[in-house]
Amino acid sequence: QVLPWTTHGFDDREFYDWYGNEGFIKGPHTFSVRSKTNSTNPNIPRMICNVQLHEFGSETDFHMSNDYISAYPTFDRYGDKTFRPTNAGCLMKNMTHDSFCPVCREGIWYQFLERISLIDSVVISPGSAPRNVTLNTLKLGALRASGNEVEGERLKVRWSRDGQDQIKLRNKFSIQADSGSWNISVELVTPEIR
């Protein structure tokens, strides 16, 4: 069956979508692509980079609007679970879109936070106690540059001394520390991560 493809793309890449109202019959199927036109640029080889097939339920079961976003779990080769969006309203699935959907944005945060520490450095002044201790973190939350703020984003800072939470020092980036065994934890709270 020849499908009525329509393209939306550029000189070096094209994107095709096809929607049908009938499901596939049981059994194997073959997908083939044949070009009926000459290449627009002989220096750009023609290739298929990605083919995705999605079969959905009826319109009462599935929302096709790109404003409606759901997620489904996927697993990588190590068995780790990640989530994928159910629609094409996202730069991750459709390169003509201008932003990431909330599902992919959260996934990007998780991948980012697995590889880096929110704590950039801890600077302790020389001398005897009490000593000045300065916590330097990534510039997130209230530390973001003007114009780059994310509403509802903040860093939660907790200091503990000899295993005891120092409640009066919560969310402080600079403290006077008496002698003891100190620990600092920093947590990112953002509406972009559940």
Each residue's pLDDT tens digit, 120-173: 999 999 999 899 999 999 999 999 999 999 999 999 999 999 999 999 999 999
What residue segments make up the domains of the chain, in order of their start?
119-189
Report whether 9 contacts 15 (CB < 8 A): yes
pLDDT grade for 189, boundaries at 50, 70 and 90:
very high
Report DSSP letters for 34-59, one per residue.
---S--S-TTS--------------T
Q: Give the pTM.
A: 0.61
Task: Quote the CA–CA distance of 130 and 175 in Å, as a whole number.
Answer: 9
The dihedral sign for the CA sequence 171, 176, 180, 181:
positive
* Helix (H), strand (E) at residue 106: helix 102-115
Give 79-126 pLDDT, tens digit per residue. 888 887 776 678 877 777 788 888 888 989 998 999 999 999 999 999
Amino acid occupying residue 114: E
Task: Quote the CA–CA distance of 182 and 54 in Å, as a whole number.
Answer: 53
